[in-house]
Chain A
């Protein structure tokens, strides 16, 4: 009789263990990387305040858009977080449903969709993030032009712009920073020249690699570098290039057919509220709402550092996104 008994035990174990995970109150946010823009902190704050869990998700902006497209018939996500241009593009593909969260009116008009298909939650600027000891005595680059110097060969990386929105913002905006025209020629010339010094175009985010010094120079959002510097206490310098920089707004959107729609709306409201905005600021992404940053304030670079920042119009960026990505693959990555 021993064996049948253990079978019964197994079946019972099976029943007892049937994953209960789905039964909690949850909101699914695509592109909710715990260490990016402090989403880990934001979501655990939300769990503490409301008991609703927002699980981490490792997709980048473009991967988020691709996943929403794949799941159109059977949506899995409630809301999404993107670099603005990709969010704009996803909205034009009809992947979002309109929603105007509390406080939506106070967002500057150019940083939100008039119908509420997307809105900015915080913004960053493209910066050169340098792990100083990893340079082993080489001077810290101060401008985009410095990055072309042969001494930085194999020391520079920026994430694959076909996957990561922040990097796409850089690839798109560098043309305007360098004073290029609508044909993007100047920007691509620069990217092609920079390619000689590039270590790689990581598909995964490189925060860890830069922190450790695996990647000495990383072109990414300034907030990530400031977080390394202030929170992780790494010997990192965040350089706003002397030629100027690109504004990188980050947006959220409400997904069409969201499976947990009501919870998601509450969460999106909360994300524009004071406690969420402050928590986001802890990773040095500039909150869109006017909140008192307290002692965090002085740790942000002064406004004067961003004097020469350019902000390419989001509609143009979104319209050209696919073409620019394809061109980048063909002209920059394809030649490696």
Chain B
């Protein structure tokens, strides 16, 4: 897989033989255009996030973004900066924040317990219907969340209001991520060879799975776990329909602030959400890098 890092470099000798300078100039023009496009997209992605971050502690009525005034204790009525909205959000929505966190951790745990063997199965399994099982496992990624939640409500009305009902919904959407991470890694190196080597040294099936296969999957599982956490923590579509007030998730609290609170409170809630999710995303990038694209690719 280690082909020349960049096509320009590889192509250079050929080009030099021809009209070297103009060709190289043309390539860098296209590159420059692409970088400009990238810069525009990056700006579109990042600017609203920056505005929200500023809005969470700056008095935005000064900026003209909101017509309400500071409604603090009166002492900071005219100051530019305050952090009171964070304490408001954390106080009011602490149970939801905690529940979302628990839900995400539980999703990770269950996905490791079920998703890792599942990934192993769809990558290395050898039995009739393996393709079908894989299709079924990855199917939810293409299905509308609202349809899945309505189906779940219809099928399991009896456990409505239990916390694990919401977990069910999250698992449908997180299992494929874990399975794909594991399967992707297993397909990218010769696992069978390793297992045969271990077998020749007298390792039984469990020993091989725990001491040969799993260690080589450590990276994939970590990446999968982080992805599962991020997906579960940010999930809104499914949990919003499945939850009751006692099993409300933090994204639903975000929704509550967006519709019913001031711009500052909404921004503060968003920043609380970002504070949890950004480190996870950063870690995913740091660990995942190029592999991430394999995981994300559509079924």
Contact = CB atoms under 8 A, between A and B. Distances in A.
- The short answer to whether A and B are in direct contact, CB under 8 Å, is yes
Interface of A: 2-4, 7, 10-11, 13-14, 17-19, 21-22, 26, 28-30, 32-36, 40, 44, 53, 55-58, 70-71, 73-74, 76-77, 131, 133-134, 204-208, 211-213, 228, 231-236, 259
A38 B208 CA distance: 61
A76 B261 contact: no
A212 B211 CA distance: 59
Contacts of A22: 163, 246
Most buried by B among A4, A30, A34, A74: A34
A208 B245 contact: no
Contacts of A44: 91-92
B69 A232 contact: yes
Contacts of B112: 7, 10
B47 interface: no
A75 to B, nearest CB: 9
Q: Is the interface of B mostly helix, strand, loop or mixed?
A: helix
A230 B67 CA distance: 13
B260 A36 contact: yes
B111 to A, nearest CB: 11
Interface of B: 65-71, 91-93, 95, 98-99, 102-103, 105-106, 109-110, 112-113, 153, 157-158, 160-161, 163, 210-211, 214-215, 218, 244-248, 252-253, 255-263, 266
A33, A70, A73, A208: most-surrounded residue (chain B CB, <10 A): A208
A74 B68 contact: no
15 contacts: A3-B210, A17-B106, A21-B95, A21-B99, A21-B163, A33-B260, A34-B256, A40-B92, A55-B95, A56-B245, A71-B161, A76-B160, A212-B68, A213-B67, A232-B69
A69 to B, nearest CB: 12
Nearest 10 A/B pairs, CB to CB: A233-B69, A234-B68, A204-B259, A55-B245, A35-B260, A57-B245, A76-B161, A19-B163, A232-B68, A14-B109
Contacts of B99: 19, 21
Contacts of B69: 232-234
Contact of B262 (A11, A29, A73, A212): A212
A29 to B, nearest CB: 8
Contacts of A2: 215
A195 to B, nearest CB: 23
B245 A28 contact: yes
Contacts of B258: 204, 208
A32 B260 CA distance: 12
A58 B244 CA distance: 10
Contact of A133 (B67, B158, B210, B248): B67
A208 B254 CA distance: 13
A73 B192 CA distance: 53
A234 B67 contact: yes
A73 B25 CA distance: 73
Contacts of B106: 14, 17-19
A204 B266 CA distance: 15
Contacts of B244: 28, 76-77
A74 B160 contact: yes
B262 A74 contact: no
Contacts of A58: 252, 255-256, 259-260
Most central of A29, A40, A231, A236 by chain B CB within 10 Å: A40
Contacts of A77: 244-245
Contacts of A17: 102, 105-106
Contacts of B248: 55-57
A78 to B, nearest CB: 10
B109 A212 contact: no
B103 A19 contact: yes
Nearest to A43: B92
Contacts of B102: 17-19
Most buried by A among B68, B71, B102: B68
Contacts of A4: 210
A207 B95 contact: no
Nearest to A207: B260
Contacts of B109: 10-11, 13-14
B163 A32 contact: no
B52 to A, nearest CB: 13
Contacts of B252: 58
A133 B257 CA distance: 23
Contacts of B261: 34-35, 207-208
Given A17-B106, A34-B92, A208-B260, A28 B160 contact: no
B92 A56 contact: yes
A3 B213 CA distance: 11
Contact of A211 (B105, B113, B245, B262): B262
A211 to B, nearest CB: 5
Contact of B68 (A11, A70, A211): A211
A79 to B, nearest CB: 11
B235 to A, nearest CB: 16
A232 B105 CA distance: 38
